[in-house]
Structure 1
Amino acid sequence: MVKVRFYDEVEDSLLKFAVMIARHDGKWVFCKHRKRETYEVPGGHREPGEKIDETAGRELYEETGALDFDLDRVCVYSVTSVDEEGKEGEETYGMLYTAEIRKFEKELHSEIEKILITKDLPEKWTYPEIQPVLMREAKIRRGGYHDE
């Protein structure tokens, strides 16, 4: 089990991940990793010396092929594992973004097999306890985030 929490800000050095709730032409953008049968929102680890906004742009490009896009910070999120006795593990932090993608590269050059552009949410999530919660929070904080 995991706990997902949200913050307005934390110390920059604590931010280890960037996750983007991405849209293109009014539809959601999800990624399918080559080694998985599930879908996920674009995101990934911050590299040493990288600003968190740079991480977001790099990961969005690497995982979706996005060439022309706008990123908007939503909030800080954290994920904490919780064992069967309710004991919490280490809390890890990331920055949650919304992304509006206007143009994609013709092919992907990463571990991502394909992207899915759809009005519907996937049935099989890679991280079902985390990513739907992040999407809900982005929608709440962004006034529906362009719900149809």
Structure 2
Amino acid sequence: MVNDTISDMLTRIRNGNLVSHKVVKIDYTKLNYMLTRVLKKEGFIRGYETVVKDKQKYIFLYLKYYSTNPCRPVIRGLQRVSKPGLRIYVNKNQIPVIFGNQGIAILSTSKGILTSLEAKEFGVGGEVICYVW
């Protein structure tokens, strides 16, 4: 059993990109599902689907690669910020900018799971879950 499902998810995506896998299987949790939806909405992955296999729920995440160089993934980096042992919170004025808005910070806010741009738009802060660029 994995204690930190978000770190596990990010590591599976990172490892899948390193070996040019098309699909990555991730354990289903509500937070993993919400993070997957944000990655799809922001264009970092091709798609996803939820599957029940042997009474266990999974998310199949379809990784995205550039058409000019099929070995080069769209997700260049992932970094877990807030960890179970050390939570990182920011207010609306401290929301980080990732590579001059080339990447996103994903936050857990009172309005749900939002990107850094959406959190600035709504004027809310929250827990910084991870950076994606």
Q: Scaled by the length of structure 2, what TM-score is found?
A: 0.27
The structure carrying a bigger helix percent of its residues is 2
The structure carrying a bigger strand percent of its residues is 1
Q: Scaled by the length of structure 1, what TM-score is found?
A: 0.25
Point out which structure has higher relative CO (alpha carbons under 8 A, 6+ apart). Answer: 1
